[in-house]
Structure 1
Amino acid sequence: MPTQIEKLEAHTSHLLDAFLGLKERYALLHPMLFDADVVKHHGSEKRARGFKTLRHSLFLSCAQDIAKLSLDKDDRTPSIRRLVGALQDEHLQAELRERFAIWVVPSVEEEADPEIREALRRMELREQAERRAQFDEILASANAKFLALESDAALLGFLTIRDRVSAHTEVHLVADKYQFVDIGQLGIKWADLKRIVDLMQSLVEELGMLIRNAGFAWESLESQLARASAGFWQTN
């Protein structure tokens, strides 16, 4: 049976994979919202209807993923909420902190000179203490960011879209007629998408460091996605 930490490591890895899928879809959606040339070239005349359909579908897909990856409570679903919640356990914190602090390095006992050996030991102990402090700083940052994320009005709007609009196609009875829920009434702006995705990325990165002691090449990913999106929407 996998240990609790092994389960958390697996969920953190799955969260990263799912978030990368969200990033890729948003990279295609972003020019449809903010690039005037893309909108003019692809979103007018005969292409207008297809453009609007694709934009709407990508928006709903991103909204669903934002809500799911941020706030899902299901034990089978990796989410930021579940991982941050698990990290509140003090015993788990202590174990992860030690894993974060103590790295496998060549044994100082192999050094023949006792003075050098003792100096190396003191250096390693000092670096371990610094890494323990760094772990606590990252954990405090992740906790604060999640509090900001879960109370964000835009995220609550995305949750409504996931629960009532795209997942169940909910309708209202308005003036004796049934109408679909108006996304425009949820208080979401186009710019909220990128802002929430960026905040999620920071949390995904910090959770990876805390639980898997692993980073990710975000700058390289951003460059790849920018090139892919630019190539897809090329207008000349």
Structure 2
Amino acid sequence: MANAPRLVPVLDVKGGVVVRAVAGRREGYRPVVSTLTTSTEPAVVAAALRAAAGTTELYVADLDAITGGGGLSPAVAGILDSATGPVWLDAGFGPRHDVIDLPPSPHLRPVVGFETCRTPDFLREFTFSPCSQTLGFSIDLRAGELVGNWGAWGVGDRRDALGVARVAVGLGVRTLIVLDLARVGTGTGSGTEELLAAIRTEFPRVELIVGGGVRNFDDVNQLGAAGADAVLVASALHDGTLTSPRPAAPPPAPPPS
């Protein structure tokens, strides 16, 4: 039986506070309300999420950097500086020097998103850089359709996420992140199991992370069965629906008598 996917808590930071991401509508994000803490301060919420998920790993979306391109926010820089485990960082990276200019950290895992990655040549800059070994490439979707300049990637249509995965892996990407923005924070399930299974079948050695819509451990285990190595979670941790222990594998059937 395959190992269960690991949980990676997600921190969305906007205006110096943690916000609740819902359906990718960034203009409507509001300060988070959580069962884990009354604080919205990024360092405090990050610690609470890590404790709830039982991990030192974290995925951080710096929404001010993504939407404004003004460089890493001080709150997010502080999280990276104090990290004791991997930090997957989506900060709307543009030219490769955006990553090179970040404060050095052994825990940094830069995420390049399809949404802002205009062409395969743009991604190639990263895969031939010092950060290539730790790079994650996010296949950004909205209701199953690619969010970004899909026409420049040589794929058939905006639903050909598998085609984008092929291009990315061909360029040397070792970690793929499948994220359906329309599902984020909605508690409606991921809806990406078929795509995950197709990617896993074609690229068995690629690390595969998935996020959006996760409600409970049934969802986590279903995504693991589809091929996910890790599952991004935020709302389910804040709402307390992932507090129960991960279900154990069923015992083997007794031998026939």
TM-score, normalisation: structure 2:
0.24
Greater relative contact order structure (CA < 8 Å, 6+ sep): 1
Higher helix proportion, which one? 1
Structure with a larger share of its residues in strand: 2
Larger radius of gyration: 1
* TM-score, structure 1 as length reference: 0.25
